[in-house]
Every structure is written in structure tokens, then in C-alpha cells.
Structure 1
Amino acid sequence: MTLETIMSELITLFIMALALGMDAFSVGLGMGLIKLRMRQILYIGITIGVFHIWMPLVGMFIGRVLSDTFGTIATLLGGGLLILLGVQMVLSSFSKEEKPLITPVGFGLIVFALSVSLDSFSVGLSLGIYGAKTFLTVAIFGLVSMVLTWIGLLVGKRVQSWLGSYSEALGGSILLAFGIKLIFGL
């Protein structure tokens, strides 16, 4: 592998991690409007980061099994899954409904972390089909989502949540673009 190939893969994974973390960031903005202590913000970020490691890891293992079994068809399905996920994120960003407010404590924190990391399972499935490096991928996804969650929570404490829908639309657009890249090999 050349240095250029390695850097290209790192940049791609980092951009995908940003796209996935935008959901955690935008939900964190809304959650930041709840009166939270700094210790709670720390735990929420760590929990979201762990879920953004665990969910794509499970998805990647399942994706690798599918890849060995189905080859090209699995690659097309993985790209299609990314496209559908991206479109869903973009469309939901324009939805007028308010998301239900879950208190991020105890079981509510688990539900909150699971809800913002489900999309990372699908991306992990696609990346497993694609054959991405497991440790590097999940480490980047977990770290970026944890930091974006903290930023979202802290910014949410300071401002209104007007940026939330735009962040989700941006994240969905990036996932859509990577799905197209995976299908067409661009």
C-alpha cells in the first residue's frame, strides 16, 4: 500500500465518521437544552462513542460474511444501503416533527445511544462488504462520534437547536455520496 492509498482511506473513513457523527451532534444539540452537568455530558459522549464502535463492528462482521458469500451482489446491496440511509437522513432533516426528548440517564441513555448509532450498523455492514480495516474504522467512528456528541451537547447548552436539521442533512448527503461511490466505484 502506498502512502497515498493509506491517506485516501483515512480521509474517507474520517469523512464517513463525521457523517455518522452528525446525527449524534444534532441530537446532542437538542439534548444540550436539558440541564445537564458536565459529568453527565462526559458519560453521554463516552456511551455514544462506545455504541459507534460496537454497532459498526457487528455490521462489519456480518458484511464480511455476506461479501464472501455473495461478492458483487453484496457490494451493490451495501452501496444501496448507504444510499437509502443517506436519503432517509436528508428527508428526516426536513421533517417538521419534533423528536421525542429522552432523558439521557440510565436506560434512557442506552436508548439514546442506540438511536443515534443504528445508522453506524448499516454503514459497518457496507464497509464489511467493502473490506475496510476493522480496528481503524471502528476506532475512528467511536472517537469522532464521541467528540461530536460532546460538542453538540455543549453547543446545545449555549444556543438554540437551529443548526440540528442542517447537520443531519449534511451527514445524509455524505452517506449518499459514499453509497454512490461504492456502487459505481468512482
Structure 2
Amino acid sequence: MSVDAAQTGQLLTLLTIAFALGLDAFSLGIGIGLKGIRKLDILKLGAVVAAFHMLMPLLGLAAGQAVSGLLGSVATKAGGLLLLLLGGHMVYSSLRREHTVQFDHRSAFGMLLLALGVSIDSFSVGVSLGMFAADLVMTVLLFGFFGGAMSITGLLLGRKVGIGLGEYGETCGGAILFAFGVMFLL
């Protein structure tokens, strides 16, 4: 196999993985966007998600190969549980119509928690990629680009659809996050 074919194969593999990891950010974006979000907050959250999609594989690579099997399943379950809790809380608070403590995606803690929830899979993928000779810079940049771009796309799409849904937008968004959380846990 020639060097060019190997590099093309590696690029296509990394693009596929980056896209798959970005789908988590996209689904989160739709859920949060349905709840209603300002354009400035979309850019902030997109940037934080992109940064976490770059940081987590680096941490995963540093964690080493020895624990890759354990971390892969634990990371997926932790991300699923986080999305399940966030989605459940959104549905509960929207259906109760009472004043409940809302999860604030605009706060620094809220953004970090959301970004961690959707990028934790990048950590386990980073551990797995550490076993191969993947181009580190290309990997990190692709993961960051797809994570950020797909979260922004999901936020904008959710925001647009959420305007038409009115008060039911938060319920729909929470249900989407809840469903993705269940899928990660199964």
C-alpha cells in the first residue's frame, strides 16, 4: 500500500469518527436550541464544545492503552447518564409549569457540563487512537471542527424550530436529550 493511500485512508477514517462524535453535539444543540438560546450563546457554547472535542482526545491519548476497554464503556455510560439527567430535568420542569431551578446553559458551569457530556466519547476514542499511528494534529483539529460546527448547526436548527413550538420547545428538547441518554446507556 502506498503512503498516499494510507494517508487518504487515515483521513477518511478520522473524518468519519469526527462526524460520528459531532452527532452528539448536534443532538445536544437541537435539544438546547428548542428551549431557546441567543445567538451569542450559540457561538459561546459551540466554541466550548469545540475546545472540549479537542482536549478530550488529548487526555485520552495521555491516559494510555492499558485502560482503553474500561474507559470506553465508562465514558459512554457517563455521557449517557448526563444527557438522561439533563433531558429528564428539562421535561420535568416544563411539564410542572412551576418555578423550578433551571439548568442554565449560559453559565460557565453549565457550558462546561454540557460540553463535557457530549465530548466524553472523544476521550475514549483518543485512548483507542493512541494505539494507532494517527496524526495527532489532524485528529484534534477535525474533532474540534466537527464538534463545534455540528453543535452550532444543532443549536441554530433547534432555535428555529423552537420558535414555532413555543412553550413546548423545552419539553421536546428535553425528550430528545433524554432519548439520546437512553441510547448511550443501552
Aligned length: 155
Mapped pair 1:2 → 2:3: yes
Counterpart for residue 124 of structure 2: 122
CA distance in 2, matches of 1:111, 1:87: 15
Deviations 1:92-151 (A, max 9, x none): 8xx8x9344432122111111111111111111111122322111111000001000001
CA distance in 1, matches of 2:126, 2:87: 28
Gaps of 5+ in 1: 67-73, 173-186
Counterpart for residue 181 of structure 1: none
TM-score by structure 1 length? 0.69
Deviations 1:33-66 (A, max 9, x none): 1221111101110110000000111111222xx3
RMSD: 3.0
Deviation at 1:19, TM superposition (A): 1.0
Write out the 4+ residue segments of structure 1 that deviate beyond 3 Å after TM superposition: 77-82, 84-89, 97-102, 160-166
CA distance in 2, matches of 1:126, 1:146: 22
CA distance in 2, matches of 1:147, 1:50: 12
Partner SS, residue 50 of structure 1: helix
CA distance in 1, matches of 2:112, 2:75: 24
Mapped pair 1:98 → 2:87: yes
Alpha carbons of structure 1 residues 86 and 53: separation in structure 2 relative to 1, 3 Å: closer
Q: 2:18·2:146 contact (CA, 8 Å) conserved in 1?
A: yes
Counterpart for residue 49 of structure 1: 50
Instruction: Letter of the 1:142 partner, please give it.
Output: G
Partner SS, residue 98 of structure 1: helix
Q: 2:75·2:123 contact (CA, 8 Å) conserved in 1?
A: no
Deviation at 1:86, TM superposition (A): 10
CA distance in 2, matches of 1:23, 1:85: 16
CA distance in 2, matches of 1:61, 1:86: 15
Counterpart for residue 134 of structure 1: 136
Counterpart for residue 143 of structure 1: 145
Counterpart for residue 100 of structure 2: none
Partner SS, residue 23 of structure 1: helix
Identity of aligned residues (%): 35
Deviation at 1:3, TM superposition (A): 1.6
Deviation at 1:81, TM superposition (A): 5.9
